[in-house]
Structure 1
Amino acid sequence: MKPFLILKTHPVPIDRTDVDTDAILPKQYMAMTSRVGFGDYLFDNWRYAEAGEPGDDITKRTKRRDFSLNQPRYQGAQIMLCRANFGCGSSREHAVWALADWGIKAIIAPSYGDIFYGNCFKNGVLPIRLPTAVVEELFNDLARTDEPTPMTIDLPEQRVVCQGGKSYPFDLDASRKNSLLSGLDEIGQILASYSEQIKAFEKIHFAAEPWLA
């Protein structure tokens, strides 16, 4: 994971409530064995007219022009603006892998599926909760222009800053914030805090049972 500090980019909207993880990444792509390449199949059923399978050449599939990820003004977006209960459904971490592989570094929504919310932090993606009224305002701002809308996420200050200077604070658990700031997942945090204790344990353990070394 890379440290997350300040992100300056523009958002892409997903204007639907209760988006589940099967919509984010359909089940057939769970058969893929690598953590890379999932971005090509993000929102697969909504992005393409034809059904897809792992390994398909996406350049030969028909893109739905009305879907936001296919529209030129949203290319390069690193923030996804979503409605309530985003990421509900199954616990598949692959859904977050697909978002990150497409380029998403932060998500803004009123609420999330609990497991999806936790999986975001494990993969360096910041899920921000903002009030429904604020999210509605952000959707309205995007609808007023055909151009990319600048947005800044300041994690140290825990603020979302929009075009024109509008600023919205967000709450975040301190330990999860520190994880993103340091660029360490759960394993990285354990190694950073307890590496010497782990080495000492292994030394004693392998001395007592050398055949395990």
Structure 2
Amino acid sequence: MSRYRISLATLLAGSLVAGCTSDNASVTESNDDTVADEPVQESIEFADWVPERGPTDRHAPDFELFNLCDEAPDSVWEKAGLHYHPEISETRIYGTHITCFLGMSEDLTESYSTGQAGNLAITVDDYSMKELEEKREILDIPSDSSIAEVHFRELTATDECTAGIETVKGRINIGDHGKLRGLTLEESCMIALENLERIVLN
């Protein structure tokens, strides 16, 4: 269709623009979102240690939380620029979640939640995205993440924004306490998202 429309318009105008072809026209008329999104989606590759993606269901037979803090290779934290500090980074295992805090600085003081660099909460919990949606706990914050169904949640008690994804062994979520460092909630969420992507993607 585009070929004939362009040919007719060119004849009526009485001129031909050099280099304008029907192929170029079809690219121009294509859906920009589709062109931009498809290659990104195809290039996504999760690290081989990441559990299978899928709904988190704590009632499923043999459900067991994945211990991200202890089971991910050390190279994962090195790639993300995160640092282990014994004072804050010991793995904490609770009934509904497993968590640890890794500093965003080699300096312990700077890696406290209120420090200049801060830390990230590395957590796997047994909440499903559907459950959080029903409780209206999912934040409406847009992102251009290449990870499907990534979502944000605010933990007001700790001034923390978490970016999370579901797996069959729990919901992996990375939390940033950016509001304690003077950032907006949205800025804190983007830091959480960037680190989630660094951690779970190759």
Higher relative contact order, chain-length normalized (CA < 8 Å, sep 6+): 1
Higher helix share: 1
- Give yes or no for TM over 0.5: no
TM-score (structure 1 length as normaliser): 0.21
Q: Which has the larger radius of gyration?
A: 2
